[in-house]
Amino acid sequence: MNFKGGYNILPQGRPASAVNRVPEPKQLYLPLHSRRFLFSDICVEDGQTVSDGDVLARDPDNYAVPLLAPRGGKVKLKSAEGYITLTDILPPAGKVHVPEKDLPHIVQEMGSAGMKRYKLLSLGAWQFFYDAYTGQLPDPLGTPQAVIVSTLSLEPFVARGDAQLKNRLLQFTRGLEHLQSLLEYQPIYLALPDAKSELATLVREHIRGYAWVRLVEIPIKYPYDNFNILARKLGIKKGDGPIWSVRTEGILATDRVLTVSKPCLVRIVSIGGSGVKIPVHLKVMTGYPVREIIDRYASSSGVRIVDGGMLTGEAVAKDSLGLDTECRGLTILPEYKEREFLGFTRPGWGRESYSGCFLSSLRKGFSERLTTAVRGEIRPCVSCNFCEEVCPAGIMPHLLHKYLYRDLIEEVEQARIDLCIECGLCSFVCPSKIELRAEFIRAKELIEKEKEEIRREQAKRQLQENSR
Ligand code: SF4
Ligand code: SF4
C-alpha cells in the first residue's frame, strides 16, 4: 500500500512494554463524560452499594453504552460534580450479569450473533469499537461493510499493541474468531507492521490458516494506523455502510466477554513523555485517581498532562479527578512558559524540529526530548510548506489556515478540509506553532452545523409543500 506524508517521531519517554499494576484505590472518581460518551442516564442512587460490573450510568445517544463500576463500593453522586464517586472500595468479586429476560426484540431475532453483540455492549467491550470514517461508536446491531483491526498504535505515547499482546496472543486470535462469528461474509483486515518485528512474526504465525483475515502491512510511521487513512487506502468507500474499526485492546476485550463472560473493567494505559520519571504501561481501572498517578510518575510540577497521545491528546483539566472510560494513556511533557527572545534562532543541541535548523539535527537517530515547545512564541505562517509535506491526507494545511484566517469557508471546503483526519502532524511540525489541527476541527464542526441547518430547513420546506 502506498502512503504519502507521515513522520517518524522518536521522542524520549517511550513506555516499556512491561505492564505494571497500580495499588488498589481508596476511592474511584468515574467521569460522566469522555471523548465520545456522555453518561447522562444515571442508574444508581446516592448511598447505594454496588458490585463490580454493575451499571452506574448509560449514554442514551450512543446505544445506551454503559458506565460500569470497576469495583464494588458505595455510590456518592454529589461529592464531585461530573463524576460518580465510589467509596468503601471492595476487592474484585468477578460478578457477571447479563440480563437475558428483557432482550430487545432485534437481539432475539438475530439469534446467537445478536446475543453476542448484546453481551459486547453490556459488558463494556463495545466501547473499543469505532466507525473508521466518523470515529463514532457504530451500531452494535448494525451490519458493517468491513472490519479493520489494527495491532499498531503509532502515536507517541498511547498504549502500544505489543504491550497489550504480551503473553496474550491466544486470546487475540480467539477474539478474532469471535469477531468473525458476528459477521456474515464481510472481510476482516488485520493491520500489522511491515517490519520483521517479533510481534508481526508471532501474529502472522498465530493467524496462519485464518483465510477470512486479510493481512495489511503498514509502515511504522505516524499516522498510518489511523482507521480513516486505512479505510481510504483499502478502497472501502464512505457511505456504503459502517466500517467497524478496533485496536488490539478491543479484540482482547471481545475475547474476555465472549469466552469467559466477564466485564471489561480494567484497561492498559501508558504513562509516557519526557516529563515522566519511569515511563510505564499500567493496568488500571476507570476512575483511578489522576493525582495519584501524577504524584507517582511526573518528574516535576512544571509539566503539562495530556490525556491521550502527544499529537491528538488534550490537556487534562487541573481539577480532573479520575481516568475516563476511553483513556489510552497520559502524556507528561515539561512546559516552559517563559518567553525566550528570538528563541527559534538559538541552535542548541537539546532542541529538535522538523526543519532541522537546530544543532540536534546533526545527531541522527536519537530520541528527542520533546516539550510542549511553545515557549511563549506563536508566530505567523512563514510558508515553509512542512505541514503539506507531512500531511497524510494530501491536503494543504497552510492554505486552509490562510482561508480560515479570512473566513473564506467556501474555499476551505473546496480545499477538501473534509479529508483531514485530525492527526495533528501539521501542528507538530509547524515552526510557527500554529494550532492547525484545532483550527480544522473547529472549522469542520462549523461546516457540519451549517449543513445540518440547511438540511433541516429543506426538510421543513418540503413538509410545508406536501401539506399544501
Ligand atoms: S491534522 Fe489534518 S491537515 Fe493536519 S496533517 Fe493531519 S490530516 Fe493533514
Ligand atoms: S508548517 Fe506552519 S509555518 Fe510552515 S507553511 Fe505550514 S502553517 Fe505555515
Is the model more confident about 340 or about 448? 448
Taking only the tens place, the pLDDT of each residue in 9-44 is: 877 788 888 888 889 899 999 999 999 999 999 999
Ligand nearest to the CA of 353: 2
Joined grid coordinates for residue 413: 471546503
Taking only the tens place, the pLDDT of each residue in 242-289 is: 999 999 999 999 999 999 989 999 999 999 988 898 899 999 999 999
Distance CA 42, CA 55 (A): 9
Which band of pLDDT confidence, cut at 50, 70 and 90, is reported for residue 201?
confident
Q: Whose CA is nearest to atom 4 of ligand 2?
A: 384
The residue-averaged pLDDT of 353-367 equals: 67
Joined grid coordinates for residue 387: 505541514
How many A from CA of 390 to the centre of ligand 1? 8
Distance CA 219, CA 226 (A): 12
The residue-averaged pLDDT of 449-464 equals: 90
Joined grid coordinates for residue 153: 498504535
Q: pTM higher than 0.85 for the full model? A: yes
SS (H, E, C) 390-443: HCCCCCCHHHHHHHHHCCCHHHHHHCCHHHCCCCCHHHHHCCCCCCHHHHHHHH
Instruction: Decide if pLDDT at 375 tops 60.
Output: no
Which pLDDT does position 197 carry in this prediction? 73
In the block, cell 463490580 appears at 52
How many A from CA of 245 to the centre of ligand 1? 20
Q: Whose CA is nearest to atom 2 of ligand 2?
A: 430
Joined grid coordinates for residue 228: 480513516
Ligand nearest to the CA of 393: 1
- In whole numbers, what is the pLDDT of the chain averaged over residues? 87
Which pLDDT does position 99 carry in this prediction? 61
Distance CA 148, CA 192 (A): 11
Distance CA 385, CA 378 (A): 17
Distance CA 20, CA 465 (A): 65
Taking only the tens place, the pLDDT of each residue in 330-341 is: 999 887 766 666
The hierarchical CATH code for the domain 111-264 is 3.40.50
- The burial of 462, by beta-carbon neighbours within 10 Å (0-12 exposed, 13-18 middle, 19 or more buried), is given as exposed
Which band of pLDDT confidence, cut at 50, 70 and 90, is reported for residue 372?
low
Instruction: Decide if pLDDT at 378 tops 80.
Output: no
Query: Which residues are bridge partners to 283 per DSSP?
Result: 21, 268
Which pLDDT does position 195 carry in this prediction? 66
What residue spans define the domains of the chain? 111-264
CA torsion 336-338-342-346 (nearest 10°) is: -40
Amino acid present at 295: D
